[in-house]
Amino acid sequence: MPRSRAQSSNETVGGTTAIFNAIIIGVAAISLIVGGLSVINTMAMSVADARARSSIKRAIGGPRGTPAPIVSTTEGRQRSGRSKHS
């Protein structure tokens, strides 16, 4: 039985849609992997920084049990007198 143009067109559109969906899913998966690795990297750097601060604090005679305070860069600039608004 010969195919009609409508059936052939529907199959072409269906195949194109499937390929497009596969590309979109692939891009989304890569984005999630890259985002997850970025979060892992940020967490690892945060832990490394906290360890360094703790080691420096212990080296200068600070107590061992209390964590080092975290000071943001903006707060540090304001305390040092290098504020952008000064």
Q: What is the 3-state secondary structure (H, E, C) of the chain?
A: CCCCHHHHHHHHHHHHHHHHHHHHHHHHHHHHHHHHHHHHHHHHHHHHHHHHHHHHHHHCCCCCCCCCCCCCHHHHHHHHCCCCCC
Q: What local confidence, expressed as pLDDT, does residue 13 receive? A: 83
Q: Which residues contact 79 (CB under 8 A, 6 or more apart)?
A: 71
Average pLDDT over residues 57-86: 63
For 20-64, the pLDDT digits (tens) are 999 999 999 999 999 999 999 999 999 888 888 877 777 787 776
Beta-carbon count within 10 A of 83 CB: 12
